């Protein structure tokens, strides 16, 4: 089955649409139609077999972006970069082994760590070193 997009209709849940791999979607005079190139079709439909999966049943398994797409890979890469930077902030101020008992002091420590992290990212951006956004330690050292 091949990913064909998301079906959104009024009054119904959003559904991920998968079609037969031998079906082609063609735009004829502004109207979409399907052409099935199969010798032994499994259904009598013009577009072959269609499987629609509702997203809200399992958000982790049925994501609105197909996992093998380029968009998913870019989003996942951005997510891992964000998680790594949060981990760097936590390690920078040693939040796991913090000896500060006052919440105001802890908040100020976190704020200073975030400011230093942001300054490092601005330096990376200004130096046009986009391909290595996690090379903060090598930039400062």
What pLDDT, in 10s, does the model give residues 108-120? 877 887 787 788 7
Q: Where are the domains of the chain?
A: 2-57, 70-140
Residues whose CB falls within 8 Å of the CB of residue 85, separated by 6 or more in sequence, listed in order: 117, 134
Residue-level pLDDT at 61: 73
Write the DSSP symbol of residue 55: G
Q: What is the rounded CA–CA span in Å between residue 79 and residue 76?
A: 5
Task: Report the alpha-carbon distance of residue 14 to residue 25 in Å, rounded.
Answer: 20
Q: How many CB atoms lie within 10 A of CB 27?
A: 8
Report the pLDDT averaged over residues 49-75: 80
Q: Is 52 helix (H, G, I), strand (E, B) or coil?
A: strand
- The predicted-structure confidence for 95-140, as pLDDT tens digits, reads as follows 666 677 787 887 887 788 778 778 877 877 787 766 665 555 565 5
pTM of the full structure? 0.48
pLDDT for res 135? 57
Rounded (5°) CA angle 16-21-23: 95
């Amino acid at each position: 089955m091949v990913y064909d997009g998301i079906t959104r209709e009024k009054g119904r849940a959003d559904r991920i649409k998968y079609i037969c791999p031998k079906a082609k979607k063609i735009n004829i005079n502004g109207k979409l139609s399907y052409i099935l190139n199969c010798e032994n079709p499994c259904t009598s439909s013009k577009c072959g077999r269609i499987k629609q999966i509702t997203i809200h049943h399992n958000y982790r398994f049925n994501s609105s972006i197909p996992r093998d797409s380029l968009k998913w890979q870019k989003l996942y890469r951005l997510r891992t970069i964000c998680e790594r930077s949060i981990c760097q902030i936590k390690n920078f101020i040693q939040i796991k082994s913090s000896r500060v008992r006052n919440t105001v002091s802890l908040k100020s420590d976190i704020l200073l760590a975030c400011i230093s992290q942001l300054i490092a990212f601005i330096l990376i951006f200004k130096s046009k070193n986009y391909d290595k956004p996690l090379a903060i330690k090598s930039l400062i050292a």
